[in-house]
A and B are shown apart, each in its own frame.
Chain A
Amino acid sequence: MIRRGRRSQMVSIISLVAAASLVAACSSGSSDSSESTETAAAETAEETAAETAEEESADEVEETVAEDAQASSNALATAWEQDWGALGLSNPGLTPTDAGIVEVDTSQYAKEGPYRIGFASQGPTNSWATIYDETLKAAAAEAGVTLEYAGADGKEDKQVNDINDLLAKGVDALIVTPMGPAIKAPIERAAAEGVPVILCTGIVDTDTNVSRVDRDNRLNGALAAEWVAAKMGGSGSIVMLAGIPGVPTAESRLEGANEVFAQYPDIEVLDSQYTNWSPTEGKTVMEQMITKYGDSIDAIWSDSGLQNVGVIQAYNEAGLSVPPITAEPLNGFLKLAKENNVEFAAIGYPPTHSADCLETAIAALQGEPVSSFVNVGVPIFTDAEIDDYVRMDCSDDLWIPAEALSDELLVSLNLC
């Protein structure tokens, strides 16, 4: 009796899961089946080839990759020297991040193409992650690489299995977007098996990976803070809106910003709160800050465009004008900023940098020396240049710039 009962429960749950996977299978034509995506991207690549510099033979692509790898070893230092200039600022005296960059000899991984590369990603859990995955898939199709994709659903434990599955498939190289510290073990296992590992966006406490491709987020936070300080002439009251507590991207930005504000004794940080990169939380938190500080907030340091959507709404509802604010170039924020004439500085972290991860993986497989840390170049601009960036015809979820994505892909993702 009991056994039968249990079995029927199991059957119910299994049929539920089966139904879910059926739905997923039916509608994932452009997400999981990388084959169709690759074909679509390949077609697009052909179309755009004529008008872009990407009209190169396979050999020429290889050359570019090698050059990029060498140039990138200085990319972090260059960014620390030059990125301030994009906002008309200069470094207020911060020590550039020491990523311990060395040139890695990859001759032991060198092999003939065509390559099969594994990509253990976060999975399409939000628009940033979706664009990130699709960019890399398109880049792989263009480079003639077979991509083995595994999305972790944002879950650390699933990713451990994903990486083991990819290794079992015998991939030539592995690109990993680490979901947490536990990814250390599978990465080290891959390295022990002689598979070069590229960490793409994120950090894990290991030195067995060949390279890490990411943006120095401490620099992003510092750039935004220095813009705020300059905007207020070095004195005034601000509030700070950070991302998710404990997440390295959010904490590094906050660290950079705090270092900058520490240099300005006349800047008072009235309050600093986390917003979980959510418009909803951003609005709730900002409403309460407005209640408490009213119009005495002279500027807002914010680490993303997401919470800013809520911030602008909170100010509108309170009948106050939005003070200068820092952001990331999220289309939804840019649209609102344009509509409300908000003064802002946008410092990017575009998901399209996933293509750089693929380039680095290919370089490693070609035996070209690669940099142990590749700092990603990002768009940096202010409200003065908004019209060059905002896409009024596209979805709020689009991350700017999106030029690396084909129009067909943007349409199929409901982004434009």
Chain B
Amino acid sequence: MSLATSTGQQERRVSWSTLTPALGLVVVAIAAILVAPEFYDPSNLANLSRQAAILALVAAGQSLVLLVRGVDLSVGATITLTMVVVARVSQGSDDRLLFAIFAALLVGLAIGLVNAFLVVARRVPPFVATIATTVLILGVQTAWTQGVPGGSVPPAMATVGTARWFGLPVPTIIAAVVLLALALALSKTVWGKWIYATGGNPEAARLAGVPTARVTVSSYIACSLLAVLAALLLGGYIGYVDGYLGVGYDLDSIAAAVIGGTSFAGGVGGVGRATIGAIIIASALNMIVLSGAEEWIQLVVKGVIIAGAVAIQTTSWKRKWRRKVPIGRA
């Protein structure tokens, strides 16, 4: 009953808040023609698709957590740690690459579990919990590496990270497949419905028999694993263990999700929106660099895009919320 009403609520919201991100994309596409015509150069579009795809993976994971009214600030640290794990475990050798990837996924799983444990079992606010995890990750990493990331990326991984199939970068294709699968899982499976129900109204969902705790745990784990996957693609593309690898992905992924129309209040959002948000951010930054603008302009533009998107989201939200409140109280 209450489950049905909250789903009905979402469907109506979708129409207006899907429109804004799509409009944003059009604005970016037109701005590109004016600011930097090279934007539409095929090689640039290929590079851009890879940048956007990797950010979209992280943003999709972030959306899963936002959907259940959480937030994950540890994705940046997870990305950097993943590369350290891969480099150290594989020792730069292709023979041990699969083992290293397995180890990285285990680490991702552990990070997701720690986040979920703090949030679900201990009821620590997600913001605080995931910052604590970030500090923990950095501590473990520094203790382990003493600041020297060490090792190198196995050649096979670098090959995958830089290769192209049918003119498209392999990371773009891999990310697209994963994102598509995730979008289907969210829209077609029970798990997906449970995620929206848990985020839309946790109490109602629980009463309706949704295992909200397990659903929340699953979204944190999925978020960490997607960050690991993004790190593997990014690391392969860079081919170097860069201590700076994950910097900025925590906030950029939240920004991409929010620009795409995912709400901080939970229950609204999805993989498609995260992808659109990621494309908008990546395109805007790409275009500004192409135009040769200075560093401060890049920061200002990024800030304006995020602030603008959040402003648009929150205003539309309030309006909707006021109308729908009576139903939600079931």
Contact = CB atoms under 8 A, between A and B. Distances in A.
Interface residues of A, number: 55
A285 B243 CA distance: 18
A241 to B, nearest CB: 12
Contacts of B118: 12-13, 16
A396 B152 contact: yes
Interface in A267-298: 270-271, 273-274, 276-281, 283-285, 287-288, 290-292
Given A5-B123, A124-B142, A396-B241, A414 B148 contact: yes
Interface stretch (A17-25, A136-144, A340-348): A17-25
Interface stretch (B179-187, B204-212, B285-293, B313-321): B285-293
Given A271-B292, A288-B290, A395 B151 contact: yes
Contacts of A274: 295
B132 interface: yes
Q: In this complex, which of A276, A290, A292 has the most chain B Cβ atoms within 10 angstroms of its Cβ? A: A292
B259 to A, nearest CB: 20
A284 B38 CA distance: 15
A80 B285 CA distance: 39
Given A274-B295, A317-B162, A309 B148 contact: no
A313 B239 contact: yes
B149 A127 contact: yes
Interface stretch (B17-25, B43-51, B193-201, B260-268): B43-51
Interface stretch (B6-14, B96-104, B133-141): B133-141
A413 interface: yes
B147 A126 contact: yes
Contact of A127 (B122, B148, B239, B289): B148
B145 interface: yes
A9 interface: yes
Contacts, number: 141
B146 A31 contact: yes
A8 B140 CA distance: 23
A13 B122 CA distance: 9
A276 B247 CA distance: 10
A171 to B, nearest CB: 24
A271 B290 CA distance: 9
Given A285-B289, A288-B289, A8 B122 contact: yes
A279 B242 contact: yes
Nearest to B139: A20
A397 interface: yes
A127 B295 CA distance: 26
Contact of A413 (B43, B148, B247): B148
A401 interface: no
Contacts of B255: none
B290 A130 contact: no
Given A273-B295, A276-B244, A20 B140 contact: yes
B150 A415 contact: yes
A292 B47 CA distance: 13
Contacts of A271: 292
Interface residues on B, range: 35 or more
B292 A291 contact: no
A414 B150 contact: yes
A280 B244 contact: yes
Given A284-B51, A288-B47, A396-B241, A27 B136 contact: no
Contacts of B241: 396-397
A397 B142 CA distance: 15
Given A285-B289, A332-B240, A291 B41 contact: yes
Interface string B144-175: 11111111100000000010000000000000
Contacts of A31: 143, 146
A270 B292 CA distance: 8
Contact of A310 (B152, B238, B243): B238
A20 B137 CA distance: 8
A285 B104 CA distance: 28
Contacts of A284: 47, 51, 289
Contacts of B44: 287-288, 291
Nearest to A285: B289
A28 B41 CA distance: 50
Given A23-B140, A277-B244, A291 B290 contact: yes
Nearest to B41: A291
Interface string B33-67: 00010100101100100010000000000000000
Given A125-B147, A396-B152, A413-B150, 11 more contacts: A12-B118, A13-B118, A20-B139, A123-B142, A127-B147, A130-B148, A278-B244, A292-B38, A313-B238, A317-B162, A414-B150
Interface of A: 5, 8-9, 12-13, 16-17, 19-21, 23-24, 26-28, 30-31, 123-127, 129-130, 245, 270-271, 273-274, 276-281, 283-285, 287-288, 290-292, 309-310, 313, 317-318, 332, 395-397, 413-415
Closest 5 CB pairs of A and B: A124-B147, A278-B244, A20-B139, A130-B147, A414-B150
